[in-house]
Each structure stands twice: as C-alpha cells, then as structure tokens.
Chains A and B, each alone.
Chain A
C-alpha cells in the first residue's frame, strides 16, 4: 500500500505490561525520532492510517479494540507490536487473555521482540513510509 511517505498511527494498549510502550516512547523521542521518516501518533482512530497494538488482548479490551478498528477510515493497516501482540507471549493461557491481536482484528505486520528494540520498530515503520 502506498502511503506517500506519511503514516498516521493510532496506538491501542490491549493489555500490555508497558514494556512496549516505553520503547514506543523512545521511537518518537529525540534519539530515534520516527517523525523524521513520516510516522506520527494521532489522538483518534478517525485520523489514523494504521493501528499500533501492544500486549495480549484481554477480555476487557477485545471489544474496544474491534470498535477502534471499525472506526478507522479505509484503507487501514494493523501492526501487532511485541511478542505478546503476536502470540500472547508469557501471558499465553492467562485467565484474563482473550487471545492474540490476530484473533480479534486482521494483522498486516508483526514486530517481534520482548520488547522490540526501537531500531527494529523504526525499520518496520519505514516499510510503510518508504523513507
């Protein structure tokens, strides 16, 4: 999909331990500064091209995650960030966990790691921004 050098991201924490959030903070911080390559965090799914999901999807967050996905304009992408988002990681089989992100919404890109290094996140985002 051609996003013309610009990727608007809506971040949803579906049940993360916040390790991935710290790395995302670092990605958009002064060192890695993903805004240089055209990625940007936005405040509403209405403005987003892609959904950035972290953590295993808990029972409480399954419906909000799906609503957020449906609230986005088409065409839309879903990026599952971190091992938990891919296959529930260490929380697999936990009493509060509904499943991985792919069980709730269709996933276009997975970024492995627990948590993934900011370098890895930036290089994954560059696949969409082409910069």
Chain B
C-alpha cells in the first residue's frame, strides 16, 4: 500500500516538476519518472514473486468510498509490463527533443499518463478504477493532440480518440455501476462475491457492455477507428505507451469482467470471439496494405488484440469441458499480451526514430535506412521478426501456446465450440500470413534498397538515448523468446488469479513443455536449427557457385537499354501490397481516381495524367461517416429549437418537468 502511494506521490511530483525551466525540465521529469517506473515495476515483481496481493483502503482522497487498492498477481503482470515499456519510452523521450515534446503541458501529461498506466491495474474498487482510467485517457489525449496547432490530421486524431475513449468509458461506467449497485460495497472482491446472485440476463448484458467498453480501448474492430489515427499522430514515446501499455489495459478490463462475472454462458465468448476474429483479420489485412509505417503498426496492434481476444474466448468456451485447455488458453493470452507489449513498443519507438531522422512516415518515401541508421534498422528487424511470430523471438512462443490450447481444447467440445475453434484456428493462420506480408513490406521497402526521397537519403542515426530505448525492449523480446522460463512462472501465477492452472505447463530456460497435453517446443533449438540450415545452404551455394579464380563481373541492373538511375524504379509499399489489395478488393474497396487531360489540339496527345489512390478505413467510411453526417444534420436542425425566445425556453423547461414527473410517478 505504502509503495503504491509512493508511486502515485512520485508520479504527481514528476507531473508538477514539468513547471521547472526548460533547460532542466526533461532530465528532471524523466529522472523522477524513471524512479516511478522502477518502484512500480519492483512492486509488481514482489507481488508476482510472493503471490500475495497488496490490499489497502483509505477513506480519504475520494469522498464517500475512499480509495481502495488491490494489486493482484494479474494486475501486477500488467503493471510490470507497463513499467518495462514505460522505462524504454521515457529513455526515448529524453532524446525526442523536437516536435515540442519538452513543453510544460506535454511533459506533465507524459508523467501523468505513465503514472496512471502503472496504477490502473492496482485499483481495487469501481471509483478508484474509473478515476485512474479517466486520468489515463485524458492525459494520453493531451499527448495525441501534441501538434494540434500545425496539423489538421492531429486535430482529427484527437477528436476521434477523445470521442471513442469517452464513449468507451461511459459504457464501462454503466457496466460497473450496475454491478456495484448489487454489491455490499464497490470493491471488486465484493462485486465478484455478489455477481453470481444476479439474474443471467443482467450478467450477460453487463458482460456485453463491458466487452464493448474495454474492447474500444483495446482497439477491437469496429471500435478501432481511433487507433490508426491516434497511434500514427502521437509522438513516438506516447505511441509506444498507447500500443504497448494502454491497449493492454483494455484486455485487462475484459479479464477483469470475467473475474467479476465468472465464466458465464457460451454465447458471451462466442460474441467476444467473433469480435476477436474480425479484429485479427481486418487489422492484419489493413496492416498488409498500409503504406504509412505508423498506421501499419497501429493496425497490427488491432490484429494482435484480436488474437488476444480469440485466446480469451477460447479460454471461456473451454472452461466447461476442458479445464486444462481453458487455463492454457488464458496463460497463452497473457503471454501474447506481454510479448505484444514488448515487440510493438520496440517497433513504435523505432518508427519514431525514423520519423525523427527523416520527417517521413510514408514507406514509399523511405528506403535505404539500413546503411544510414543501422541500429534503428536492427531493432526494427528484431521487432518485425517477433511480430511475425518467428522463433526464437517471444511472439513465436505466444502464438504456439495459443494454437496448442485451441487444438487441444477440441477434445470433448460440443458442436458449437468445435466450429468456433476451427474458425479461430483458420483466423490465426490467415492472420499469421498477412502479418508476415505486412512486415516484409515494412522492412524491405522502408529500410532496404535505395532511398526514395532526399530526407531518407540524408538521414542520420538518432541520438544515443533513442537508440538505447528500443534496444532495451528488443533485447527483452529476444530474452523471453530464447528463455520463456524467465516469465512463465509469473504469468501462470497471474492467470491462477482468474482460473487455476490445470494444463501442466512448465517452461524450462529454453522451451515450453505441456505435460498434460504431451507437447513441447524449444524455440532456441528451432532457431539454431534454422541458422544451421541457412549455413548449410550458404555453404552449398558457395560450393556450387563460380569456381575460385573465375572472373566475377558486376554490371548495373537491366533497364531495357536505359540507365537505371531513379530510386523510384524500385518496388514500393503500394506495389508490394497491390496483388493482395486486388484479391481483397471487395473487402477493402480501395478508391482510385484517374484524371487524364488532353492537349487542346488533339485528343491523341496527353497533357497531364493525375492518379490518386486511397485505401482509407472501410469501417470508418461505411459505418462512422454516415452516422456522423446524420448527427451533423440533426445538429443543424436542432438549432431551430433555440430561437432566442425566453417564453419558448420556459415552455421547454415546463414540458421536461412534466415528462420527468410522469416518468417518476
């Protein structure tokens, strides 16, 4: 309790420290924030190591209910993940001096955001949770809107993000208040004890409301529209925190809903699984066709959260008939959440470094960065391999566990669950393929080849703190991939808080073993095998290649007789994704606009050809835009109600009063 108060106190102190003069501001705030992160992370490690929750209650600070703290191993896992991501983001922030990130408002918002992210999982009752949740949402809104004065896109992103997060918070509040109204006090433990007495319909409705509310925070389709905007526009340290820490809390919320309401009915998890599948497919498809590096990463976040929700749904569906597979699915989900936090923050920090060095996010204007920015390219490659779930990185172990739980959960399942599981496996497979396409494109087009623009040509490697920050999380990706045993005890303790572990999962330093399901994998051995195979192939090529002493002739690429001088003749991100876009034409419905103008004298001669293609979000175009347009029309119509006549306003008041009295009576 005292430790968490210390975290909160230091966090507030760091927020206020933003008022010191500019020369020392970033260093002071970052130093204090580092302390907050280390204390928060150490507290979480202690909870996970001892397996004892930190519980506390004080009646001060908030009227009526006070503040209640309950840091369970589950919450501690999320706090620890956030702490690691936040340490990297803070180090990156120290170097990120441009883009006004060192102003008073942004420094304080950053400090407040980190502190609230660390503390949300420690909240022990509804009021504490909602207050911290709102602090987190509003401070991150300030960060998203950092460049609002200059860029219209930033203003748009801030509007979307603000509206979606407040809408989500309203639903979460509604769901939690319904539960709290039936409990002895608003603490989560009291709610969990009393929720089983509620009628099934109420519990189902509350679950749905919480699923949508927390799902919007986790970026589930169709509530994902804020994500590609806000993540792309936010400055790099903030986007790393949004994607590596804040979306996790949406998942934490869904797990929390399960601890409060119990496993519940099958249809709950079918609905959740439906949104998970849609998010995974939609996110990976848009990631594969995006050309903006940060939008690509944001859609990939949506895709990964979809996979996480698939895992959660599998856990819920299997709970009735197969406790081993159910608990394994939950553990796999939590492994995936931590893995995603690490690799996605690596990628967002790396992308931020690229943006810092080149002022570009468009892959079609990048290229050749492997030569000019070798460290940043290396961390991006590690992150891309991890997100593509290749051994020996942490993404591989996570997805392997999810697939194992799905395959083994089939035994003893009823037909509905069997069909759902088959769909889950298929979605997982398609998503995996599309993710590889997306990240081959990101690395191949963005970092290899030749520079496609002046700014990419003259890019210089970023300051040392911005190189260290993503390297920390990339190193964690490698460490947890090679030695999953480092984290698996902590993660299975966290999942024990929700459902006891029956899967017999153990992890040695180099691999996973599932005693109950007779299955094992060793990512390190797989990776060493792959490296050995690559060496053998390279050796064979050398043996079969030109004999020693043969003349090697180097000549420019064949350009049909012309000199190949323009970097624009390279494969672009758009052309790489074009076949895929063509295959999924009906889903994506990309917009093309071709405008040919002829010279005045003859239609046989073309004066100018203008071609524009846009691949904007179809959910936004077909679902949100019409609703927003309708709201705008209604808003204009409603202006007629206020014509300045006091008599009319008094009449309104009277009518509303009468309606209220009729409803109440």
Contact = CB atoms under 8 A, between A and B. Distances in A.
A68 interface: yes
Nearest to A46: B558
B562 A71 contact: no
Interface string A45-79: 11000000000000000011101101100100000
B604 interface: no
Contacts of A68: 561
Closest 3 pairs (CB-CB, A-B): A64-B561, A71-B558, A67-B561
Interface residues of A, number: 11
Chain B CB count within 10 A is highest, among A46, A63, A64, A67, for A67
B555 A64 contact: no
A44 B561 contact: no
A67 B563 contact: yes
A45 B558 contact: yes
B553 A71 contact: no
15 contacts: A44-B558, A63-B561, A63-B563, A64-B560, A64-B561, A64-B562, A65-B561, A67-B556, A67-B559, A67-B561, A67-B562, A67-B563, A68-B561, A70-B555, A74-B553
Contacts of A44: 558
A71 B296 CA distance: 38
Interface string A103-118: 0000000000000000
Contacts of B558: 44-46, 71
Contacts of B560: 64
B622 to A, nearest CB: 45
Contacts of B553: 74
Contacts of A74: 553
Nearest to A73: B553
A74 B554 CA distance: 12
B49 to A, nearest CB: 63
Chain A CB count within 10 A is highest, among B555, B561, B562, B563, for B561
A71 B563 CA distance: 12
B97 to A, nearest CB: 48
Nearest to B564: A67
Contacts of B562: 64, 67
B552 to A, nearest CB: 11
Interface string B553-578: 10110111111000000000000000
B557 to A, nearest CB: 9
Nearest to B560: A64
B551 to A, nearest CB: 8
Contacts of B559: 67
Nearest to A44: B558
A45 B559 CA distance: 11
Nearest to A61: B561
B562 to A, nearest CB: 7
A65 B563 CA distance: 12
Nearest to B562: A64
Given A67-B563, A74-B553, 12 more contacts: A44-B558, A45-B558, A46-B558, A63-B561, A63-B563, A64-B560, A64-B561, A64-B562, A65-B561, A68-B561, A70-B555, A71-B555
Contacts of A45: 558
Contacts of A71: 555, 558
Nearest to B551: A74
A19 B525 CA distance: 67
B519 to A, nearest CB: 49
A68 B562 CA distance: 9
Contacts of A70: 555
A74 B552 CA distance: 11
B662 to A, nearest CB: 84
Nearest to B555: A70
Interface in B514-567: 553, 555-556, 558-563
A70 B553 CA distance: 10
Contacts of B561: 63-65, 67-68
Interface string B245-257: 0000000000000
Contacts of A64: 560-562
B545 to A, nearest CB: 15
A8 to B, nearest CB: 15
A16 to B, nearest CB: 15
A50 to B, nearest CB: 17
Contacts of A63: 561, 563
Contacts of A65: 561
B20 to A, nearest CB: 64
A71 B555 CA distance: 7
Contacts of A67: 556, 559, 561-563
A52 to B, nearest CB: 15
Nearest to A45: B558
Interface in A31-46: 44-46
A15 to B, nearest CB: 13
A45 B556 CA distance: 13
A77 to B, nearest CB: 17
Contacts of B555: 70-71
Interface string B11-25: 000000000000000
A71 to B, nearest CB: 5
A67 B556 CA distance: 9
Contacts of A46: 558
B307 to A, nearest CB: 44
A74 B553 CA distance: 9
A40 B122 CA distance: 77
Nearest to B561: A64
A111 to B, nearest CB: 23
A66 B165 CA distance: 64
Nearest to B559: A67
B563 to A, nearest CB: 7
A109 to B, nearest CB: 22
Nearest to B558: A71
Nearest to A71: B558
Contacts of B563: 63, 67
A46 B559 CA distance: 11
Interface string A3-46: 00000000000000000000000000000000000000000111
Chain B CB count within 10 A is highest, among A46, A65, A70, for A70
A66 to B, nearest CB: 9
